[in-house]
């Protein structure tokens, strides 16, 4: 009697609001973590490659490749990016102290403070770190 085992690899598929990392087994990260200045994929920086080049006061819509004014990020209006992803509203706090502000929510900030923090957009990309993780100075265009 011969017993055969057929091994079929189970491949995880990512949703349309996730980015597929090149790691094996495949891992998915939330699309809002793509092009955020922090490598999130286990094999390196592939989630930081081929990102839109936006201006100092703009938010990069990674799915559509568009750049929108930072004022449209976390403004409560869905789909400012125009691609159906609503990524400009992901990670936004809807309480009165953070609404319409830049959200400091990197792993370093969360570990340091135990929660996210919000700063006024005038401090975003001003050359000084205001978030504990420094995310307010990432992906800024030097002028």
Start-to-end Cα distance in the chain: 75
Name the helix (H) or strand (E) containing 30. Answer: strand 28-30
Burial of residue 102, with CB atoms counted within 10 A of its CB: 0-12 exposed, 13-18 middle, 19 or more buried: buried
Question: Does the residue 11 lie in any domain?
Answer: no
Q: What is the reported pLDDT for 10?
A: 42
| Total-model pTM | 0.47
On the question of pLDDT at 8 being above 50, the answer is no
Our CA dihedral for 90, 91, 93, 94, rounded to 10 degrees, sits at: 10
On the question of pLDDT at 5 being above 50, the answer is no
Question: Does the residue 9 lie in any domain?
Answer: no
On the question of pLDDT at 28 being above 70, the answer is yes
Question: Does the residue 143 lie in any domain?
Answer: no
79-111 tens-digit pLDDT: 888 888 788 877 665 554 566 678 888 877 777
Question: Does the residue 117 lie in any domain?
Answer: yes
The whole domain housing 133 covers 18-137
30-59 tens-digit pLDDT: 887 787 777 888 877 788 888 878 877 788
14-26 tens-digit pLDDT: 887 788 888 777 7
Domain count of the chain?
1
Read off the pLDDT of each residue in 136-141 and give the average, rounded to a whole number. 80
* Contact (Cβ atoms closer than 8 angstroms) between residue 58 and residue 70: yes
pLDDT tier for residue 1 given thresholds of 50, 70 and 90: low
């Amino acid at each position: 009697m011969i017993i055969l085992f057929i091994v079929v690899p189970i491949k995880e598929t990512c949703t349309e609001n996730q980015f597929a990392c090149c790691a094996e087994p495949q891992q998915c990260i939330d699309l809002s973590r793509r092009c955020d200045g922090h490598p999130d994929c286990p094999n390196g920086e592939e989630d930081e490659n081929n990102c839109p080049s936006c201006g100092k006061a703009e938010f990069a819509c990674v799915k559509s490749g568009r750049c929108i004014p930072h004022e449209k990020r976390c403004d409560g209006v869905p789909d400012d990016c125009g691609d159906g992803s609503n990524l400009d509203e992901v990670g936004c706090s809807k309480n009165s102290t953070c609404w319409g502000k830049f959200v400091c929510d990197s792993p370093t900030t969360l570990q340091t403070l135990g929660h996210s923090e919000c700063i006024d957009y005038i401090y975003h990309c001003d050359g000084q770190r205001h978030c504990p993780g420094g995310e307010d100075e990432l992906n800024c265009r030097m002028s």
